[in-house]
Structure 1
Amino acid sequence: MKQTVVIFLISALIGLAGGYSYFQLGGTKGETNATQAGKQETAQSSQPSASTEDGKGAGKTTNASTQDGTILQQKGCLSCHSVSKLNLQGGTTGPDLSNAYREVEGKHGKPIEEFLKAPTSAVMSGVIKSNPLTDEERAEIIALLKEASEK
């Protein structure tokens, strides 16, 4: 009996240590990505950015953070969602956003831009309320999701 308890305790400690290590490395990686994103944005700020192609985003600009998904990392979207068509791995709690550009209006009754301002789902309402998007961030996310839906 004692031997079983000892084996159980050792196994539990190994499991906890492994989980701790996994999440510590994940947190460190996320911080590194955020740090790199800040450096990329600083480097990109002096370069002109390309205009979006659709009429809704006319007059708004995108930059490298849109192209590589940095905006989704910065705003925490990838904590719950992934965008498989752009090879952006994230959480599995929320749905994959690869087709969100086309599907949001049908699912939520409003265009994606309006949904990102005032979501109709309970979970996203709380997320956006605690971390609202600026007009520029919303435009970047929409451009990224449009790109994903076209792949």
Structure 2
Amino acid sequence: MKMNSLIFAIAFILSFAGGYFLFSGGDSAGTVADSPEQQETSDAEKTEDGNKEETSQETVSSEAEALERNNCLSCHAVESIGVEGGTTGPDLSKAFQDVEGKHGKSLDEFLQEPTSAVMSTVIGDNPLSDEERTEIIKVLQKAAEQ
């Protein structure tokens, strides 16, 4: 019985690791890098006249650059200002006004010391400077006014 449990645990770990590397989007070691030509065409499609046309990988609007620079958009979107992002975290359109009610502190205080487990880990690993917090708060305040 112990041997079956050991085999199951090893198979689970190998399957999990294999899935991680298989579905990590080519970021794992051992994948062959695209040639510069392949990377260029994957970033933009060429039209019939040879000009490049933007694909779904759009650049972030200037008002949301602070969110992009600090990787907020890897988990969050801000629909009220038309910024697409990740779907793991909640939409930040109303965060400016909702954070205090949900977490008992202002947005600025929350960005310094988050009370949610996920955000405390994210920000704890990479604290925001005063300038970054101010930029993010301005963007989220504008988003809440939309």
Q: TM-score, normalised by structure 1?
A: 0.58
The 5 Å alignment of 1:9-88 reads 67-88=62-83
Structure 2 partner of 1:89: 84
Residue 95 (structure 1) shift: 0.1
Tell me which amino acid in the other structure corresponds to 2:100. E
Q: Distance in 2 between matches of 1:69 and 1:89?
A: 10
5+ residue gaps, structure 1, are: 1-15, 38-64
Q: Distance in 1 between matches of 2:94 and 2:64?
A: 15
Residue 68 (structure 1) shift: 2.2
Greater RCO structure (CA 8 Å; 6+ sep):
1
Tell me which amino acid in the other structure corresponds to 2:125. S
Moved over 6 A (4+): none
Select the structure that is richer in strand: 2
Select the structure that is richer in helix: 1
Structure 1 partner of 2:97: 102
Paired residues, what number? 98
5+ residue gaps, structure 2, are: 1-21, 27-33, 44-54
Larger radius of gyration: 2
Q: TM-score, normalised by structure 2?
A: 0.60
Q: Distance in 2 between matches of 1:68 and 1:145?
A: 10
**1:102-124 deviation digits (Å, cap 9, x = unpaired):** 00000011010000000000000
CA RMSD of aligned residues (A): 2.9
